[in-house]
Amino acid sequence: MSRVQWLRVHKYVGLAMAALLLVQALTGMLLLYRGPVARLVDPAGMTSQGAGPATPPGMAVMRAEQALPGFSVVRLFAPDVEGATYVAEMANGAGEKRYASIDPAGGALLRAGTIWAFPVEAALQIHYRLMAGKVGMALVLLNALALLTMAATGLAYWWPRRGPVSKHLSIRWSIAFRLVLRQLHRTLGVVASALLGFMAVTGLLLIVPEIVAADGPPALHAASSATRIEQSLRMAQSAFPNIRLRDFRLAGGQLIVNFNAPERNPRAVHRAIVTIAEPHIVSATRAENSTALWMTVLPLHGGNSFGAVGPMVLMIVAVILAALAISGPLMWWQAKSLRRRSTTRKQIA
């Protein structure tokens, strides 16, 4: 393909997907520091008050279900750091979702409502599926393909034929704003192209298996007491003693329990599946034996595999992506306005 063709593909794909790319960039920024941002945005609903006896997970399930009659907890996240809360994801028979946060110190209900009462959780669902189930995930997949295409075509169009690379990345701040904008767009895109491509590929590896997987309504659990849930949790914990609980799902008559496995990577989990009615272990899988692709790809996509610096670098990349998603359509609009004014002047002359 010629440089003109590379540019044409880059321009039209970018214009078509700019809005979605901006949404992905903004929500991705929030999710890089999901817990701290949630506590910053909603301290009353997402921060433990630290007063009262410790509340076990089974009791947290009961408190959430008492607060929202007709809804059952399908997943409960345990506090991940000091000051964090339990967060319960809930559903009813019609497939409607609700959320609740419970204080692990005393068991008080701190917040309950739709997903919009939990802004960071809403950001996660927008980033992952645009709040539209598998249709939304398909759009996210197209978005990742578009990002990969633009990273490749933009780099191909820019690739210098002669002269030092630094010259082809320099920005002349003294020229007209529209030309400065064009040079900024070019330089930011080239510098970040490898990482943008990396984010697109890891995003594809996360979303494709979810689209392929069978989709159905959440399996609501039968009414269970806090005592029964605690018994099942203790059974699961016996498979992974002294390992911290991350979350568990209540599906039918089973508890699917995830324990943190930082020895593999920051997002990895050991998993135990336990029955609730008469607790016994159905299966127990250590993180190093798991074949789940997400367990390898998610810490790469979120930057956690690279230590504390990883999310910081990805935050910069997300800011650059947001800037590119805004500056691209703005450049197109400027060029179109310039052509229109030129045509008008010629007609007048």
* pLDDT band with cut points at 50, 70 and 90 for residue 217: low
Residue 119: predicted pLDDT: 96
User: What is the average pLDDT value for the chain, to the nearest integer?
Assistant: 92
The 3-state DSSP class for residue 76 equals strand
Q: How far apart are CA 82 and CA 103, in angstroms?
A: 11
Q: How far apart are CA 249 and CA 233, in angstroms?
A: 11
CB 135, CB 123: distance < 8 Å? no
Question: What are the tokens at 123?
Answer: 């950001």
* pLDDT band with cut points at 50, 70 and 90 for residue 165: confident
Give 268's DSSP letter.
Answer: -
User: How confident is the model over 66-109, as pLDDT tens digits?
Assistant: 999 999 999 999 999 999 999 999 999 888 999 999 999 999 99
Residue 162: predicted pLDDT: 80
Alpha helices in 75-213 (DSSP H): 119-129, 133-158, 165-169, 177-212
Residue 167: predicted pLDDT: 83
Q: How many CA within 13 A on the CB side of residue 289?
A: 7
For residues 224-230, give the mean pLDDT. Answer: 86
Question: What are the tokens at 151?
Answer: 């990273």
Residue 4: predicted pLDDT: 85
Helix (H) or strand (E) holding 282: strand 281-285
Neighbours of 337 (CB within 10 A): 11
Q: How far apart are CA 150 and CA 141, in angstroms?
A: 14
CB 281, CB 239: distance < 8 Å? yes
Those residues whose C-beta lies under 8 Å from the C-beta of residue 14, and which sit 6 or more positions away, are 21, 146, 150, 324, 325, 328, 329
User: How confident is the model over 22-70, as pLDDT tens digits?
Assistant: 999 999 999 999 999 999 999 999 999 887 899 999 999 999 999 999 9
User: How confident is the model over 275-305, as pLDDT tens digits?
Assistant: 998 889 999 999 999 999 999 999 999 999 9
Task: Give whole-number Cα distances, 46 to 30, 97, 300, in Å.
Answer: 15, 18, 27
Characterize the bridge pairing of strands 254-260 and 269-275.
antiparallel
Residue 112: predicted pLDDT: 97
CB 39, CB 79: distance < 8 Å? no
Question: What are the tokens at 1?
Answer: 């393909």
Residue 224: predicted pLDDT: 65
Neighbours of 162 (CB within 10 A): 6
Q: What is the pTM of this model?
A: 0.90
Would the pLDDT of 349 be above 80? no
Residue 161: predicted pLDDT: 80
Q: How far apart are CA 130 and CA 137, in angstroms?
A: 7
